[in-house]
Chains A and B, each alone.
Chain A
Amino acid sequence: ESVWSRTSKGLPGDHSAQWQPRNFNRAAEPYILPPAPNPTAPPPPKKPPAAAASSSSLHARRGWSPDAMAPTKKSKKSTENINNKLQLVMKSGKYTLGYKTVLKTLRSSKGKLIILANNCPPLRKSEIEYYAMLSKISVHHFHGNNVDLGTACGKYYRVCCLSILDPGDSDIITTV
């Protein structure tokens, strides 16, 4: 029976508790977590062109301006972009799907980009992020669950995490 079954529950969002061992000098090696995605920021509402005058004041009151839009939630266009890029990688590049192979590529530092579905279990997500932190490989959190990620890969099964080894013709590594 492995250690993981007995260890911390991996409460969603409460990542700080997991990586802070007690009884030692925190200042020696600070581990800075990647910032958790901000679920509280309200997505900017869609603006019909006719009501521009009245809604602009509304947005000004809300403190939102088109220039200063924080990229907390990707627009539909960006998700489509990622899907297209993934499609290209599937066609022309090298990749592996699935948790075990993703860890393998992380250990051997062969992966270039890791993509996680949003319903990936939090403990698994933390583990992959930790490995990626050690090996300095970037992780992308896909805006969709494992079913969507599998579909985006063109597969008929669910994919929770995948690792891109060689992007082929795609520029997914540089843009994401």
Chain B
Amino acid sequence: EHAKMVKFLKTGKAVILLQGRFAGRKAVIVRVFEEGTRDRPYGHCLVAGLAKYPKKVIRKDSAKKTAKKSRVKCFLKLVNFTHIMPTRYTLDVDFKDVASGGPDALATRDKKVASCKAAKARLEERFKTGKNRWFFTKLRF
């Protein structure tokens, strides 16, 4: 039969978290663990999301203010597929240094902080280009 099956939970997919502290926040899938791991025997993925969205920048903001408003706070989280809502959007940001660590990118606190900083830098530079505006606007609910 015609191959109808399109897997959509892939790296780069923009998703919305549904549960937990970051419920309602938008995130990008960085790495997918389809079959799960020994610690998490269910399908889950590593997402990088926006804990704090960048604020709205207006034309009459000074350069200093624009820089301050464009800052994001990022989070990295291993999240079950059932706790995310996939969207039709994608965000193709290169998260190589974040994802290369793999599951142990979140193992120790230092590694997590370092990965978070790397992800934050990537997301901020993407925001400044003005692309993927849907991703950087807060979901109102």
Contacts and interface: CB of A to CB of B under 8 A. Distances in A.
Interface residues of A, number: 32
A137 B4 contact: yes
Contacts of B6: 109, 134-136
Nearest to A29: B88
A24 B134 CA distance: 6
Interface in A79-112: 100, 103-104, 107-110, 112
A103 B82 contact: yes
Nearest to A174: B1
Contact of B137 (A21, A108, A110): A21
Interface in B4-62: 4-9, 16-19, 23-24, 34, 43
A135 B23 contact: no
Given A107-B81, A134-B86, 10 more contacts: A3-B141, A4-B18, A6-B141, A7-B141, A21-B137, A29-B88, A107-B86, A109-B6, A109-B8, A137-B4
Interface residues on B, range: 20 to 34
Given A3-B16, A103-B82, A107-B43, A136 B4 contact: yes
Contacts of A22: 137, 140
Contact of A24 (B24, B34, B88, B137): B137
Nearest to B140: A22
Contact of A134 (B1, B8, B16, B34): B8
B1 A8 contact: no
Contacts of A6: 24, 141
A157 interface: no
A8, A108, A138: most-surrounded residue (chain B CB, <10 A): A108
